[in-house]
Amino acid sequence: MIRIDSVTKRYPDGTLAVDRLSLEIPDRSITVLVGPSGCGKTTTLRMINRMVEPTGGTILLDGVDIQEQPVNTLRRSMGYVIQNAGLFQHRTIVDNIATVPRLLGWGKQKARARAAELMERVGLDAALAKRYPYQLSGGQQQRVGVARALAADPPVLLMDEPFSAVDPVVRKGLQDELLRIQEELGKTIVFVTHDIDEAVKIGTMVAVLRTGGRLAQYAPPAELLSAPADDFVEDFLGIDRGIRRLSFFASGGLELTKTPIVTAESTAEQIAARATPDVPYLLVTDPDGRPLGWSEPGALGDGPLDAARLLSHGRPFEYGTDSLRAALDGAVLSPTGWAVAVDGTGRAVGVVSQQTIGEAIRSAHAEGRTGAQSAERRTAAEAGADAGAEAGAEAGVAG
């Protein structure tokens, strides 16, 4: 959808914001531009819709040079979401969302109907339609901004640090909402952020930029975390990139054990049968199988259960759906060192030790290294084949 070819932006004072940047942005994907301050992320984004004009190079949209299109036509063909939403404070929410359709000549009734449809899609209550932006929370305003950008159903969506001004809980919700909407609509999204966690979570492809607008690495998140191109990328990813990488490995292969699980109504005999030397604690669940907490076997027996005396069960992970990172997090947060696996309804399906999770992590990393080495060998072989073909062609020309 978008091809950035040797694009440069140099300002009149000599400042070089972007230096010969080349990127191929795939269709129906989220491409994230990330890097330190002054790396040209926002400048690159704004050159795509010509809010900033490049000094050199070309940007192609669906194979056509964007310089060949009237600038207003170009901008109206792209959704644009910025930090703090940038809403019109004197317009109601429904009219904010309907802005671009109205500019394109839609009737008021049709534009408002589209706005109401999009409010539902981005998770906004219909009762908010007649309110004004100042009457909404920060997270709600950002949802309005996303809805407004989608109003005319543009194929391209540009997002400039849209979630950076909200708190972490709201930000996570907005990220999840964006991924859900993208799964439904399949837009070509270019997303700017300075947060590597956000880039890794939402990006199909991630472009890490250096100061001065030079490309350091362009790769899928898993590849970026497993094989940083150089010291700059490795430092930017941070010392916990190995933990982040676990997000790309599923928990479905973990070997669970059900032996140390008992219900709050279990008898002393049933509890004794579940206690083993290998598992010093038992996980107590309610009659429906939902975890309540851990207990030493000797503290359980006939009679009513005192739930207040149970140890916390940490943060359960959904088996087969959540990642190894979530499983490890559950084990670390558990006072027993064991993570609790649940199904989609929250019922306990087993427990797993830190040791077992560690073995799965080592296996996953080993498989990742093998895959990366295979990819490198394929790349080297392809390069050798290309070089051989070029040499053969040159020899033929010489002949």
Q: What is the pLDDT of residue 392?
A: 42
Which residues are bridge partners to 215 per DSSP? 209
Contact 309, 296 (CB under 8 A): no
Provide the pLDDT for residue 244.
87
- pLDDT (tens, 9 = 90+) of the chain, 399 residues, equals 899 999 999 999 999 999 999 999 999 999 999 999 989 999 999 999 999 999 999 999 999 999 999 998 898 889 999 887 789 999 999 999 999 899 889 999 999 999 999 999 999 999 999 999 999 999 999 999 999 999 999 999 999 999 988 888 889 999 999 999 999 999 999 999 999 999 999 999 999 999 989 999 999 999 999 899 999 999 999 888 888 889 889 999 899 999 889 888 888 888 888 887 777 889 999 999 999 999 888 888 666 677 778 899 889 999 999 999 999 999 999 999 999 999 999 999 999 999 999 999 888 777 665 444 444 444 444 444 444 444 444 434 333
Its pTM stands at: 0.79
CATH superfamily of 2-247: P-loop containing nucleotide triphosphate hydrolases (3.40.50.300)
pLDDT for the residue numbered 182: 95
Beta bridge partners of 12: none
Residues in a beta bridge with 284: 262, 293
Pairwise CA distance, residues 262 & 284, whole Å:
5
> Which residue, 25, 388, 34, 26, is CA-closest to 201?
34
- Fold (CATH) for 249-399: CBS-domain (3.10.580)
pLDDT of residue 301: 67
Can you give the chain as a three-state secondary structure string?
CEEEEEEEEECCCCCEEEEEEEEEECCCCEEEEECCCCCCHHHHHHHHCCCCCCCEEEEEECCEEHHHCCHHHHHHCEEEEECCCCCCCCCCHHHHHCHHHHHCCCCHHHHHHHHHHHHHHCCCCHHHCCCCHHHCCHHHHHHHHHHHHHCCCCCEEEEECCCCCCCHHHHHHHHHHHHHHHHHHCCEEEEEECCHHHHHHHCCEEEEEECCCEEEEEECHHHHHHCCCCHHHHHHHCCCHHHHHHHHCECCCCCCECCCEEECCCCHHHHHHHCECCECCEEEECCCCCEEEEECHHHCCCCCCCHHHCECCCCCEECCCCEHHHHHHHHHHCCCCEEEEECCCCCEEEEEEHHHHHHHHHHHHHHHHHHHHHHHHHHHHHHHHHHHHHHHHHHHHHC
Report the pLDDT value the prediction gives residue 391, as an integer from 0 to 100.
40
pLDDT of res. 369: 54
Domain boundaries, the chain: 2-247, 249-399
Dist CA 111 CA 101 (whole Å): 6
Please report the pLDDT score of residue 368 as a whole number: 60
Strand order through the sheet with 78-82: 78-82, 156-160, 188-193, 30-34, 205-210, 214-219
